Structures are given as C-alpha cells and as structure tokens.
Amino acid sequence: MRSAIVTHVLDPAALLAEVSAARHGAAVVFVGTVREVNDGRAVTGIEYRAYAPMAERELATIIHEAAARSGGADIVAEHRMGRLGLEEASVVIAVAHPHRAPAFDAARYVIEELKRRVPIWKREEYVDGTREWVDPTAARTPESVAGPPRAG
C-alpha cells in the first residue's frame, strides 16, 4: 500500500509490478491521461497543482479504505503535478487482488474518491493561448456534476 503526489513521469508498468504477488490472480491498472479536448475546447496541456500534504494524506486514506473494503487488495497510486502535455499520464492506480471483481471495484473506488476528495486542481491550456482553472462543478457535461464532499 503506497500513494504519492509526485513530479516525475508516471510508469504504469512499475506500479503494476509493485502490487503483483503470487497470492493475487488479478490486477487492474487505471491510467488518467491528458485529453486533447475538454468540453469541446482544444487542449494543449494541463498544469496540475495540489495542496500536497493534504492530498497525500487524503490519497493514503482512500487507498486504505479501498483495501479494507476489498478484503486483501494491494494498491499503489501516484498523481503527478506540474505541466503535462497531451497523452501524458496524470494519475496511475494499480490494484492486485486474488480475484478480479474486487480488483476492479477497488481501482474504481480509488479514482472516484480521488476526484471527489483529494485537493488537486488543474489549469487547462488551450490552442488560443488562454488557460483556465477547471471547475467540474460548473461543467456542462452531465458526467461531472457530482460535487465535492461536505465535511460534517
């Protein structure tokens, strides 16, 4: 179980190797990458920023939650910071588990909770040279309307 906010290029194969073990029969790797289009605008790159100490803490909490729910998953997650070009990986989550269903569920849980709870922001750069902080709560696409957590 390991998670980190990093500035280096992400290596999905290394994270997969890190969770692999003979007790597991399945591994799922999720990779988030910089897409050339967002909300219909042509993107040239994304700058990621984080409230690093809290992001590391929250991400660690999430992967431990996922591991506990799954009953035995090994999970490694890294989120990259800084300026990323098209196709570059911003986040990699690797999960291994004796069985495939919990491996899929844990990987999905980590990315969904990461997007909901881990304090990371991104500024998109567009072909016209402008750039903008992305606000998923204001986005027009139906998939991004889920809001952030309200603390109790």
Site for other proteins, rule CB under 8 A:
32, 48-51, 53-55, 57-58, 79, 90-91, 100, 111, 114-123, 133-138, 148-152
Please, what is the minimum distance in Å from the beta carbon of residue 91 to other proteins? 5
User: Which of 27, 76 has the CB closer to a second copy?
Assistant: 27
Contact (CB, 8 A) for 31 and 89: yes
User: Which of 67, 114 has the CB closer to other proteins?
Assistant: 114
What's the rounded Cα separation, in Å, for the pair 138 and 145?
7
The percent helix, strand, coil of the chain (3-state, each to 5) is 35, 35, 30
Q: Please provide the size of the chain in residues.
A: 152
Instruction: Spell 64-95 as b/e; 16+ CB within 10 A means b.
Output: eebbeebeebbbbbbbbbeebeeebbbbbbbb
Please, what is the minimum distance in Å from the beta carbon of residue 137 to a second copy? 18
Residues 70-109 as x/- pattern, contact with a second copy by CB under 8 A: ----------------xx----------xxxx-xx--xx-
Structure tokens at 140: 């027009």
- Tell me: does residue 146 bind a second copy (CB under 8 A): no
Kindly tell me which residue out of 143, 149, 150, 151 binds a second copy, with binding defined by CB under 8 A. 143
